[in-house]
Structure 1
């Protein structure tokens, strides 16, 4: 086995994830696709089968990270890598294979590919670790946070080259068995949002290599529900409070150290 892909669903219909599933099934490096049905609402799975597919039905929805943790616990021994994949991802054949070879050959324990929006514009999946004011300004005063976002989202980076970033997007993340053994997956206290920041941070604090892969490309629809739905905005706020309660609000030496490590070696785009 090479890669086990993990998808966490909640009340998704087959048409919602058809494109993602088809792409995953078509990759040579993906040996198995495991769907976690949070809350056991996806009845269409009763009649859906594929030689690569396994299904985990959970009676209760305990969140995005907790769902993926079920896959880590049951399958991490079976393959050298697990792919964390959102159900709104699309990619051409061979893109995961490129990410796999990049991680395998480079000894990378945690990586993401180049992520773009459906219109082809870059989605900044590599970021610095956030300070409280950065998340607050981005969420509630987006029109005034231009320069703040510019630095936080590493917009000066040359995305044609690999580089380290301490916060990687969890929409499409390849993680090694050794990393999972050492960091124990997602922190289940984060129901939704910032669980990927927390995980990236913990991996970046170990000896495992964390790296962006410029050779692989995926398309992410990115629904940004917390900007249009009050319930998801509350999830975001609660997660932010839990994140800063865990790592520090005003004083966070580790955040400064990891961000400095990123910026000191960041390849810069040409003007």
Structure 2
């Protein structure tokens, strides 16, 4: 198999993911789509069938990363790549075929495509590894976070060219079988938020290549729930504490090294960020 796509749901209706599911099932390079029903709330799945579709029902919701880990454990050995896809993503036919070819031709272990909002504006899915100050300013001082965001989100990068970044967005990740064999998926201590930062970072410490792919394009209807829902904000804060407890709050030599490598190699855009 070329790609197995992993889609984790929690209380989603069919209408919520219809566009995402259609995009995944219509892509030639995606051999199988595995839906994880986190918490067993998506009863409609019992009535939906497709030759490419398989489902896993988990009675207890242990989080985003843990849901995808179930797919890794059961299916990763069957395919060259596993695709992590959020349920609010859609794309044109052929876009993932481009991402697959990019990963194969360049021996890339972890990659993401160009991600845009529905209005076509760029989502900065490639970032530096965060410091506590950057996350605090972005979350609680957003009006004055411009200069911090510009650096952290690599807004000076030329997104028409491939490049290395130490943190890639977990909304849409293509991960090689070899990467999953070596680093064993997401850290289940992160229920939601920063599990993608932690995952990207761990891949960067191996010999596997980590790259942004400019050839493929997906649309992400990002909901940014931690900015409007207190419960999700708490998830975000707890994950940040766990992340910095794991990697270091203020003395993080590896973070500096990986960020420096990114900034040194980064292709710069000649156009102002809009």
**Shared fold (TM-score, shorter chain, > 0.5):** yes
Partners of 1:212 and 1:115 lie apart in 2 by 10
Partners of 1:184 and 1:254 lie apart in 2 by 20
- Other-structure match for 1:200: 200
SS of the residue corresponding to residue 160 of structure 1 reads coil
Q: Give how far 1:214 is off.
A: 0.1
- Other-structure match for 1:266: 266
Name structure 2 gaps, 5 residues minimum.
none
Q: Give how far 1:183 is off.
A: 0.6
Q: Give how far 1:174 is off.
A: 0.1
Q: Give how far 1:259 is off.
A: 0.2
- Other-structure match for 1:155: 155
- Other-structure match for 2:97: 97
Partners of 1:183 and 1:55 lie apart in 2 by 24
* Pair 1:228 & 2:231 matched: no
1:23-66 residue CA offsets vs partner (Å, 9 max, x unmatched): 10100000000000000000000100000000000000000000
SS of the residue corresponding to residue 123 of structure 2 reads coil
Partners of 1:265 and 1:23 lie apart in 2 by 33
* Pair 1:39 & 2:39 matched: yes
- Other-structure match for 1:129: 129
- Other-structure match for 1:144: 144
Match runs of 1:1-271 below 5 Å: 1-271=1-271
Partners of 2:59 and 2:11 lie apart in 1 by 12
Aligned residues: 271
Q: Give how far 1:232 is off.
A: 0.1
Partners of 1:24 and 1:79 lie apart in 2 by 15
SS of the residue corresponding to residue 238 of structure 2 reads helix
SS of the residue corresponding to residue 190 of structure 1 reads coil
Partners of 1:22 and 1:145 lie apart in 2 by 37
Partners of 1:248 and 1:238 lie apart in 2 by 15
Name structure 1 gaps, 5 residues minimum.
none
Structure-2-length-normalised TM-score? 0.99
Partners of 1:146 and 1:33 lie apart in 2 by 39
Partners of 1:89 and 1:269 lie apart in 2 by 26
1:116-160 residue CA offsets vs partner (Å, 9 max, x unmatched): 000000000000000000000000000011000000000000000
Q: Give how far 1:189 is off.
A: 0.1
